[in-house]
């Protein structure tokens, strides 16, 4: 599926910002199954200097330095991306989850091992571990258990914007059973890490317009988040969207991944001035083939 991506982020400041340095994780990542045909970033006011590179996880990063005094800052991504990720293996054919957990601590799991450790926003929370364990009966194939866990999250948690922030603890999300995609991804990741299973936080987008006859995906108006789960050295990673209870195939575009949201937040900065601020975000991930067909 070919998509046109538009992502506009605007910060409005209560006081003038004299200088600003911003780090952006806003460029889609080339991957097997994802071809970035075009991508550009623009900003207002225009930065005096722009540099780009890659972070520890291989994600594309852009740094913008702004020296023009301003009380409003807007960054816009425009991109065209083809996404068609390979299907996962048959769930029953995957390893028992205990073997995957054990493999993460051996040589064959060295690339995945760092994602089995707790992080600040996705700790190995006992409550999340207890919640996840209900899906992980002894000897159960890991993908069978993962699919069951994401289905339970979709069923048990209400998608309710405004009841959490990016700093809301997992324990609070578990207690309220409500939040947004970032919260559900962190809950699932924390639960998997409590069981010794590598899991990573994936940042990106989910298609804005649903297919005919299908419900609109939750989390489509802003940056989306889901979970990368390791199936072991033979099958590698699979991406799962607990907010919508779907395996990532052709409805998502990946920006990047990390241990949690803090590693791949779309935009963060250091400012001189600014005071209080307000944030607005608008995202569109529109399929281009369907557009051409009309």
**Residue 183, domain CATH:** 3.10.620.30
The set of residues, in sequence order, having a beta carbon less than 8 Å from that of 232 and lying 6+ positions away, is: 94, 95, 99, 100, 103, 109, 142
DSSP string of 135-176, one letter each residue = T--TT-BHHHHHHHHHHHHHHHSEE-TTS--TT--HHHHHHH
Does residue 138 sit in the same domain as residue 227? yes
Which domain does 167 fall in, by range?
Answer: 91-263
What average pLDDT score do residues 56-70 get? 97
Q: What angle do CA 201, 204, 208 make, to 5 degrees?
A: 135
> β-pairing, 237-241 with 2-24?
unpaired
| pTM, 2 dp | 0.93
Q: With bands split at pLDDT 50, 70 and 90, how would you rate the model's confidence at 5?
A: very high
Cα 279 from Cα 7, distance rounded (Å): 13
**Alpha carbon of residue 39 to chain centroid:** 19
Tell me 243's DSSP state. Answer: T
- Beta strand 224-230 with 267-273 is unpaired
pLDDT above 60 for 293: no
Q: Which residue has the tokens 């590179």?
A: 53
Residue 166 clears pLDDT 90, i.e. is over it: no
The better pLDDT of the pair 214, 284 is held by: 284
Q: Are 217 and 286 in contact (CB under 8 A)?
A: no
Q: What pLDDT sits at residue 288?
A: 86
pLDDT more than 90, % of the chain: 87
Mean pLDDT, the chain, rounded, equals 94
Is 35 in the same domain as 66?
A: yes
Residues 51 and 96 in one domain: no
pLDDT value, residue 121: 96
Its sign, for the CA torsion 151, 153, 157, 158, is negative
Residues 109 and 7 grouped into a single domain: no
Same domain, 74 and 191: no
What pLDDT score does 256 carry? 97
Look at the chain and report how many structural domains it folds into.
Answer: 2
């Amino acid at each position: 599926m070919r998509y046109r991506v538009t992502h506009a982020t605007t910060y409005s400041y209560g006081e003038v910002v004299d200088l600003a340095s911003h780090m952006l994780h806003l460029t889609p990542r080339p991957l097997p199954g994802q071809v970035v045909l075009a991508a550009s970033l623009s900003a207002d006011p225009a930065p005096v200097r722009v540099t780009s590179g890659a972070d520890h996880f291989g994600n594309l990063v852009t740094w913008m330095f702004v020296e023009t005094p301003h009380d409003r800052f807007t960054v816009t991504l425009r991109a065209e991306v083809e996404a068609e990720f390979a299907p996962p293996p048959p769930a029953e054919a995957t390893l028992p989850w205990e073997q995957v957990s054990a493999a993460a601590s051996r040589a064959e799991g060295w690339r995945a091992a760092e994602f089995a450790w707790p992080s600040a926003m996705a700790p190995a929370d006992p409550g999340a571990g207890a919640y996840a364990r209900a899906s992980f009966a002894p000897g159960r194939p890991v993908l069978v258990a993962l699919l069951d866990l994401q289905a339970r999250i979709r069923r048990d948690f209400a998608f309710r914007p405004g009841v959490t922030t990016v700093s809301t603890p997992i324990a609070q999300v578990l207690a309220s059973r409500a939040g947004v995609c970032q919260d559900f991804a962190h809950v699932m990741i924390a639960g998997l890490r409590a069981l010794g299973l590598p899991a990573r936080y994936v940042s990106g987008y989910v298609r804005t317009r649903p297919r005919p006859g299908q419900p609109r995906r939750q989390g489509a108006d802003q940056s989306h988040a889901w979970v990368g789960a390791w199936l072991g050295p033979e099958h590698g990673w699979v991406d799962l969207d607990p907010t919508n209870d779907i395996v990532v195939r052709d409805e998502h575009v990946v920006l990047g991944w990390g241990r949690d949201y803090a590693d791949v937040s779309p935009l963060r900065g250091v400012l001189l001035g600014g005071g209080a601020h307000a944030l607005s975000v608008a995202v569109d991930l529109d399929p281009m083939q369907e557009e051409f067909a009309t």
